[in-house]
Amino acid sequence: MSYIDIINVSKSYADNQVLKNISLSIKKNEFVTLLGSSGCGKTTLLRSIAGLGSIDNGKIMLDSEDITHKNPGDRNIGMIFQSYCLFPTMNVFNNVAYGLKLKKEPESKIKNEVMSALESVNLLEKVKSYPSQLSGGERQRVALARSLVMKPKVLLLDEPFNAIDAKLRKALQLKVKELHKEYDMTSIMVTHDQDEAMIMSDTIHLFKDGVIEQSGTSAELYLTPKSKYVASFMGNYNVIEAEIFSKITGGKYSKEHTIGLRPESIEIHKEKLEAKANEFILSGVISNLIPQGNIVRFSVKIMDEYVDVDVLVDRCSGFSIGDIVNLKIKPDKILYFD
């Protein structure tokens, strides 16, 4: 049973059609990400759900109610933007209390709710500070508390961690997930960062030019991408045209296909290998080694092509640039795209 239904939603700005008949369903308490490259329509859809932008066609349902034409203030939806949007002349307490004051809630209730929201985001000690006295991460947490205090049914997050450094970003991502559960919310986040989408989401909707290219869990999108586009977006797939794959493997692949290989699914060996049934053993030369945290990415030149292979950092001793190596590719690791 879905909680939010986006039904055949379309939107154009002049002759630029930004949303092309989008439909998707979101369950209660789900954490959903709208993922895609810049300009593909994610924010336009998020703003339509919030009521901050109109749509040309279609319907938006929330908890079985048609909210397509409802005022933003009547939707019980909270929104957090990349740019925080805090009031610079108000201290943290008053920024967070703003919405409750507008609703003319009693003073004692406002105080309790604000302090409890600030406690949730670990900011009690900054209650009297002004936005200019806070770091980017602290400002974003104030923005989060300001939304939480209104106890929205739905929380919308538009690239909320963009302006925050990598370490704090991780901590805030986990905090938001924790609060999403604690406040019993349904959350929809827009991002162009696939790692962030994979860390946070129950379901990812990957957009491409105003349509949803694929929806699923992060594992589904990563392991079974339905197209070359999804594979390139979700991971660091080697995407190889059939003609070239036929050339380097000596096999025969239909020209209509493109081959996808995940770098971590390819084995790399210094010693000579015997190919078992349907396996490929390809010889090449290491042209580059790029450390990437817990893995090292090897770029291996085979004829005129480069294939990326990921190896755990503690398994790469003994390999150097210029070494001749053998790659083993198992048949069940090969993906075929039309």
Ligand X SMILES: Nc1ncnc2c1ncn2[C@@H]1O[C@H](COP(=O)(O)OP(=O)(O)OP(=O)(O)O)[C@@H](O)[C@H]1O
Q: Which residues bind ligand X (CB under 6 A)?
A: 13, 16, 18, 36, 38-44, 190, 192
| CA atoms of 284 and 325, how far apart (whole Å) | 6
Nearer to ligand X, 42 or 139 (CB): 42
Q: Shortest Cβ distance from residue 207 to ligand X (Å)?
A: 7
Q: Which residue minimizes CB distance to ligand X? A: 43
| CA atoms of 193 and 159, how far apart (whole Å) | 9
Q: Shortest Cβ distance from residue 14 to ligand X (Å)?
A: 7
Beta carbons of 82 and 160 less than 8 angstroms apart: yes
CB atoms within 10 A of CB 238: 21
Nearer to ligand X, 36 or 160 (CB): 36
Q: Shortest Cβ distance from residue 225 to ligand X (Å)?
A: 20
Question: Which amino acid is present at 66?
Answer: D
Backbone angles phi, psi at 93, to 5 degrees: -55, -50
Q: Shortest Cβ distance from residue 16 to ligand X (Å)?
A: 6
Q: Shortest Cβ distance from residue 160 to ligand X (Å)?
A: 13
Nearer to ligand X, 11 or 126 (CB): 11
Q: Shortest Cβ distance from residue 52 to ligand X (Å)?
A: 11
Nearer to ligand X, 26 or 307 (CB): 26
Report H helices in the chain.
42-50, 92-102, 107-120, 136-148, 166-182, 194-200, 218-223, 228-234, 242-249
Beta carbons of 100 and 110 less than 8 angstroms apart: yes
| CA atoms of 181 and 170, how far apart (whole Å) | 17
Nearer to ligand X, 96 or 189 (CB): 189
Backbone angles phi, psi at 333, to 5 degrees: -95, 0
**The CA-based dihedral angle spanning residues 305, 311, 315, 321, taken in that order and rounded to the nearest 10 degrees:** 30
Nearer to ligand X, 35 or 325 (CB): 35
Q: Shortest Cβ distance from residue 161 to ligand X (Å)?
A: 13
Q: Shortest Cβ distance from residue 236 to ligand X (Å)?
A: 21
| CA atoms of 130 and 65, how far apart (whole Å) | 39
Nearest to 90 by CA among 133, 119, 121, 122: 133
Nearer to ligand X, 43 or 238 (CB): 43
Q: Which two tokens stand for residue 122?
A: 């670990």
| CA atoms of 17 and 40, how far apart (whole Å) | 10
Nearer to ligand X, 205 or 328 (CB): 205
Q: Shortest Cβ distance from residue 37 to ligand X (Å)?
A: 7
Helix 136-148 to helix 92-102 angle, to the nearest 10 degrees? Answer: 20
Nearer to ligand X, 40 or 142 (CB): 40
